[in-house]
Amino acid sequence: MELKFKVDKITYETSIEEGYYMIGFSDNGDEPNQYVILQKSMNFDEQDVELGLNTYYFEYSDQSNSEYDICKNIIVEKEKITFNLKEDFLEDITKIVISFDKKIIQNWIEFESIFKKIIDDDRVLTIIQ
């Protein structure tokens, strides 16, 4: 099943102090009904590696809907992002499509750079200009 929603807020940041990269998509500003968060640590310890947590974190609308390395692929376009999910993540949801007005991304170069740091596998992330 495909889940679609439109977002009105996109945040993206690099936090050197906290040691992570993060992108968030929200359908209702700071009080979302639906959202997606992608986050990745800048540094992984030995335990992260042993547990397979040395990758990106994906969350949809609640921490109970979260997982590491869950996307088969992600396609980023100027007004739409498609997350094709691996099996057995959200019951029968295999795809999440987020649409947005491209003007809400104030710095596309920075947004793209952070996205590539979170998803650093070209087989997973495709950015269409």
Task: Dump pLDDT digits (tens) for 63-101.
Answer: 999 999 999 999 999 999 999 999 777 778 899 999 999
Look up the pTM and report it: 0.91
Radius of gyration of the chain (CA): 14
Name the helix (H) or strand (E) containing 57: strand 57-60
**Which pLDDT score, from 0 to 100, does residue 112 have?**
94
CA distance linking residue 50 with residue 29, whole number of Å: 36
Task: Dump pLDDT digits (tens) for 20-75.
Answer: 999 999 999 999 999 999 999 998 889 888 888 889 999 999 999 999 999 999 99
